[in-house]
Structure 1
């Protein structure tokens, strides 16, 4: 079978790395550079992605579109794709709740074949091997499995129902990300009373405790701008099933205190805790 042309919307840290893996089994991987930041341009070049000037060109040339963007932009992107009558495979791989996923599937159903996707794990660089969970029509999920065969992105098909992959992604994110928020609050409280090292020592006596990894708090702060919206999506998913969403909304509100630390790789634990303590 001929190799497909793939379009990526948009190449952030995860999207660019995933797209680079897809390039191993694709004729080309395209991205639209219009309106994107200098950082995006540099990142796309670093990962070997091919720029095009307009979204229309990207959609016309692509057999497969992968949408990997901040959750808030997912539906706007899907609307733009629908307006251009894209008729290939559209992988909605954002951290959005199943209800939004199904709305996007309905929006595109008259043209594209929509696959629900959810990435669990870190971007596929430096030996990391995330899993792209998929749900949707078998003929389409098979194409995505083939696209990522023998790459650092593993694939796992959950079935044909749109929403399953999104639900799994958010269920995992709700635990993993909220746990990190709780660590920050616990260490922050202990630090205010001069017992933070003792707290970490207590936690270190237990196995697999996030609380014994306070160094991760700075990484959590730098990622808060992405994690907060994911937890809001997860809270919406809880509410839609009748489960209480308040804990996840509170975690998202806590993360918002770190919005100014976006992608700050130089942030220290002390800096992160200082920012957390400021209303």
Structure 2
């Protein structure tokens, strides 16, 4: 098969690095600098991307287009592409909800073939090897896999349903990013009372990720009747220290959905998740 021409839309730090990897198996990787910043132009040049003067030329010349932009802009960008009647493979690789991914697929169809994509990991520079998860039609996902074969971007196909890759990305990032906020809040509260060093010492005794221990969810549900009020107390302490309490109040609200599972030793993970999904 001939090497495809690839277009990268709005290449930021991640997009430009991913596009550079694609260049190993592409005839050319294009980008359009119209309306973009000098920093974007410098970044694109550093990664060896080929400039074109207009978005229309990028879309006309590209067999595969990769969208990696701020999530809020993903749908508007897809709408612009739809207006140009792009008819190739459109890789929607932004951190958006499965519902938005499906809306974008409907927006671009039937002219384009949309592959739902999600990048998990750091930009592929300096030895980093992120994974690009894909879901969509078999022929289209195979073309994207071939584009990154032998590069620092690993690919994993999750199935044919648009939305699966986006769901995986948000499920993971919701934990990863919220946990970082919780770290900041915990340290902020500890600093207010001069015990941040002791807090870090306590935490250093356990370095595993709770996300890798799903079996603990059922135990959490059984203890929710105690944990919820404790988090409400912690939220009060945050507010008293001038820190935002909203995250802990939201967690307490989630725990309240398990109040009727008080000390339920026989609760399974499936039971706990079912209860959590019911208001």
**What 5-or-longer segments of structure 1 have no aligned partner?**
211-245, 252-279
Q: Deviations over 1:170-192 (max 9, x none)?
A: 00000100000100100111111
Report the Cα distance in structure 2 between the residues aligned to 1:155 and 1:134, rounded to whole angstroms: 7
> Does 156-165 or 187-196 show the bigger shift?
187-196
Q: Which residue of 1 aligns with 2:130?
A: 130
Structure 2 matches for 1:125-204, cutoff 5 A?
125-204=125-204
User: What count of residue pairs does the alignment treat as equivalent?
Assistant: 216
Once the 2 structures are TM-superposed, how far is the Cα of residue 77 of structure 1 from its aligned partner?
A: 0.6
Report the Cα distance in structure 1 between the residues aligned to 2:61 and 2:142, rounded to whole angstroms: 21
Once the 2 structures are TM-superposed, how far is the Cα of residue 247 of structure 1 from its aligned partner?
A: 5.1
SS in 1 for 2:16: helix
SS in 1 for 2:105: helix
1:37 aligns with 2:37: yes
Q: Which residue of 2 aligns with 1:119?
A: 119
**What 5-or-longer segments of structure 2 have no aligned partner?**
211-245, 252-279
TM-score, structure 2 as length reference: 0.75
Q: CA RMSD in A?
A: 1.8
Q: Which residue of 1 aligns with 2:53?
A: 53
Report the Cα distance in structure 2 between the residues aligned to 1:132 and 1:151, rounded to whole angstroms: 11
1:64 aligns with 2:59: no
Q: State the structure with more CA Rg.
A: 2
Q: Which residue of 1 aligns with 2:236?
A: none
Asked if the contact 1:178/1:248 (under 8 Å) is kept, the reply is: no
SS in 2 for 1:34: coil
Once the 2 structures are TM-superposed, how far is the Cα of residue 65 of structure 1 from its aligned partner?
A: 0.2
Once the 2 structures are TM-superposed, how far is the Cα of residue 49 of structure 1 from its aligned partner?
A: 0.5
SS in 2 for 1:74: helix
Dislocated runs of 4+, deviation >3 Å? 246-251
Once the 2 structures are TM-superposed, how far is the Cα of residue 249 of structure 1 from its aligned partner?
A: 11
Structure 2 matches for 1:202-217, cutoff 5 A?
202-208=202-208
Report the Cα distance in structure 1 between the residues aligned to 2:145 and 2:53, rounded to whole angstroms: 29
Q: Which residue of 1 aligns with 2:216?
A: none
Report the Cα distance in structure 2 between the residues aligned to 1:209 and 1:138, rounded to whole angstroms: 34
SS in 2 for 1:126: coil
Q: Deviations over 1:148-198 (max 9, x none)?
A: 000000000000000000000000000100000100100111111111111
SS in 2 for 1:150: coil
